[in-house]
Amino acid sequence: MARVTVVMNPKGGVGKSTLATNLAGYHASRGHAVMLGDVDKQQSSREWLKLRPAQCAPIASWDIERGKPAKPPKEATHIVLDTPAGISEKLLDQVVAPADRVIVPLQASMLDILATKHFLAMLAEDRAVRRSDALIGVVGMRVDSRTRAFDELQRFLDGLGLPVLGYIRNTQNYVQLAARGLTLFDIAPGRVQQDLEQWQPILRWLEG
């Protein structure tokens, strides 16, 4: 049975595809049979897969038909799902049903915080989520710990009652790697050591 991680937040531009592609890259680097599913109309993750060099650890694409149950393919051991902004309740139910883990990325801005607060409340009441055994965690994205916005983000997260898995800094490393179909886990660790360190608590939660 494949382990399924869903990355979701109704707010656009919060870093869902960055998280999803790097999660898939991590699993691939561990030798797992990985599939990356993209149910976002923009198909950012699918386009990223087209850029991925042939010599890198393979990541297959999972095509999910809207309105039909999301049944993980038998050949996959690990699946990551990238979801759209403004996800509907019907699509949410579809992708949460097979999930083991749900990760909600969140940026340090008041608009993102308010949108995510509403979404998490909806998630808590969703029937598919309540039926599921999936664990939900939050990741702060493009974070600068020296800013007042970061302090606001921490205050919000402290009151959530959900695990805060970690904080991902704002760096061009992700942009430059994505442009080549790569992740942090495809290159020499010494080049991205600070970023890999930030991923360790996220990965421990995933593997736990």
Q: How far is CA 35 from CA 5, 81, 121, in A?
A: 11, 9, 29
**Strands in the chain per DSSP E:** 3-7, 34-38, 59-62, 78-82, 101-107, 135-143, 164-169
Mean pLDDT per 10-residue segment, the chain (208 residues): 89 89 97 88 81 95 66 84 81 81 89 83 76 84 84 83 89 96 96 97 92
pLDDT at 42: 67
In this structure, are strands 101-107 and 164-169 parallel, antiparallel, or unpaired? unpaired
User: Domain coordinates of the chain in residue numbers?
Assistant: 3-203
Check: CB of residue 35 under 8 Å from CB of residue 71. Answer: no
pLDDT in tens, 1-19: 889 999 998 888 889 999 9
Specify the DSSP class assigned to residue 189.
G
pLDDT at 66: 61
* CATH T-level topology, domain 3-203: Rossmann fold (3.40.50)
Distance between CA atoms of residues 47 and 128, nearest Å: 29
Check: CB of residue 160 under 8 Å from CB of residue 138. Answer: yes
pLDDT at 10: 80
